[in-house]
Structure 1
Amino acid sequence: MKVPIEVEDERDDEATAVEPDEVEAQEGADEPEVSDDADATGEGDELTPEEERARVEAAIRAGEEAAEKELAADAGKIRAERDELQKKLAAVEDQIEGAKKEAADAKDRLVRLQADWDNYRRRTAAERVAERERAAEKLVCDLLPVIDDLERALDHAGATESADTQMQQFVEGVSAVHAKMLAVLAKEGVEPIDPTGQPFEPLSHQAVGRVEDTDAYDETVAQVYQKGYRMGDKVIRTAMVTVTYGGPKRPADEAPADEGADAEKGAPEEAAEQTK
């Protein structure tokens, strides 16, 4: 049998048993509470002016350091942007210099091409003129023997006296043909060289003989066997002449006067000077 009293004692013990956490909570509740204000005031009383000034200075320094760091970061960004812009500017300047150089080269090539074109145009024009002159000169040179034959025929007819009217008319007709041919050649700048009585000029005269003449100046053309011809400033055929010798020397002051009076002699001398 169980004894009721003992059971009741065990129940009382269980009822009176207290957990440790509950004991600590109770002990904490029994302790007096301390407010935060009391803690704050407990750490120290009011700050002294020196401490307050030190705290203000520390706050200022901290603000200045933060501002310096922020300014340094901004300055770094600005420098990076500046460097990038400088690189772009340098690249653009290089492009500009390259474009200027290309423009200068193109201008130089244009000037050279223009000069080459002008030279080519003048050269081709001169060549065309020279070609025409050579063609005309060849034709004139081919016609000169015909003119010589006409002049010989006229000289022979003049030396022969004839009362035949038809013969005289024939001679007049040949003379008219001769005059027309000379007129046509004159339009092309062709003129005869007939230096009888003039000083001998080696550039336009060809000496085929010498004749002694003490009355005439030395080196004077005594007779023309064949007329010469000049086309412009060029002698296309020299005159075949005989030259005197044995006479007095020609005065130096008369040579220019003779050359100025003789247009046919002046032109060959100018041509000779141009050739020199």
Structure 2
Amino acid sequence: MVDRKAKHDSEGGSQKAPPSGRHSLREEPSGSPSGSDVSAVDPELVSDLGAEYELRGDVAADELAEAKAEAAEWRDKGMRAQADFENTRKRLEVRHADALLRAGERIVENLLPVLDDLDRAIDHAVADGADLSDGLDAVRRKLLDLIAREGCSAIDPFGAVFDPLKHNAVQMREDTEVADQTVVEVFQKGYEMHGRVLRPAMVVVSTGGPSRE
């Protein structure tokens, strides 16, 4: 009996005990949330952010509109400046051309008394039968050619209708056979240049004749 019990104890004692420190139940990993803890979004914060973005959008739109208006204003100013420049340039060109014409007119005006003297000298020479008429007439033709190149021409209205813009009536002469307001004599020729009268012709005008209608 003793041997069987000892054997039993020996067999029972030979079984190994489970290692210490081990647990039979599985432990949950540390750090894992035990439940859902998500914070809700604040509606007031969302509203404030939306209002801020809307305000920024309005400010940007206003700045864009202001920039466009300023650009349009500068464009208009540039166009007006260009138009003013073109108008000024045209006015200067007209003034320059007019100054050239006036310079030629002054030259011709200074020559007119010379032509008058030549006309009178030729008339006297012809009346006296002198041979100076040919030489004087040649000089006269040269002067006429000179002023003609400058655009000047004589106003010799004998037999024409009196024109107060080109003729200066120094005397009225009654003549029933000539139509009224007819130039019947030219005391002194007039001259015009580029459509402008430099000097009107001094004339005698008829009166008492048939009326002009």
* TM > 0.5: yes
> Which category describes the TM-score, using the shorter chain as reference length?
0.7 to 0.9
Deviations 1:138-174 (A, max 9, x none): 2211111001111112222222324xxxx3xx53232
The structure with higher relative contact order (CA 8 Å, sep 6+) is 2
Read off the aligned partner of 1:87 and give its amino acid letter.
L
d(CA) in 1 for partners of 2:98, 2:90: 12
The aligned runs of 1:86-235 (5 Å cut-off) are 86-162=54-130, 167=131, 170-235=132-197
Measure how far apart 1:77 and its partner are: 4.5
Q: Which has the larger radius of gyration?
A: 1
d(CA) in 1 for partners of 2:74, 2:135: 69
Instruction: State the partner residue of 1:247.
Output: 209
d(CA) in 2 for partners of 1:149, 1:226: 11
Read off the aligned partner of 1:204 and give its amino acid letter.
K
Measure how far apart 1:131 and its partner are: 2.0
3-state SS, counterpart of residue 138 of structure 2: helix
d(CA) in 2 for partners of 1:210, 1:84: 97
Read off the aligned partner of 1:237 and give its amino acid letter.
R
Deviations 1:184-223 (A, max 9, x none): 2112211110000111111111111122211110111010
Instruction: State the partner residue of 1:259.
Output: none
d(CA) in 2 for partners of 1:161, 1:171: 8
Structure 1 stretches lacking a partner, 5+ long: 1-62, 253-276
Measure how far apart 1:235 and its partner are: 0.8
Question: Is the aligned partner of 1:236 residue 2:198?
Answer: yes
Q: Compute the TM-score of the two structures, normalised by the length of structure 1.
A: 0.59
d(CA) in 1 for partners of 2:67, 2:167: 66
3-state SS, counterpart of residue 214 of structure 1: coil
Read off the aligned partner of 2:195 and give its amino acid letter.
D
d(CA) in 2 for partners of 1:127, 1:183: 27
The aligned runs of 1:22-33 (5 Å cut-off) are none
3-state SS, counterpart of residue 172 of structure 2: strand
d(CA) in 1 for partners of 2:117, 2:90: 41
d(CA) in 2 for partners of 1:134, 1:119: 22
Measure how far apart 1:129 and its partner are: 2.0
Indicate the percent of aligned positions where both proteins have the same amino acid.
Answer: 40
Deviations 1:118-141 (A, max 9, x none): 221122222222222222222211
Read off the aligned partner of 1:105 and give its amino acid letter.
E
d(CA) in 2 for partners of 1:81, 1:188: 85
Read off the aligned partner of 2:153 and give its amino acid letter.
E
Q: Count the aligned residue pairs.
A: 178
d(CA) in 1 for partners of 2:182, 2:154: 18
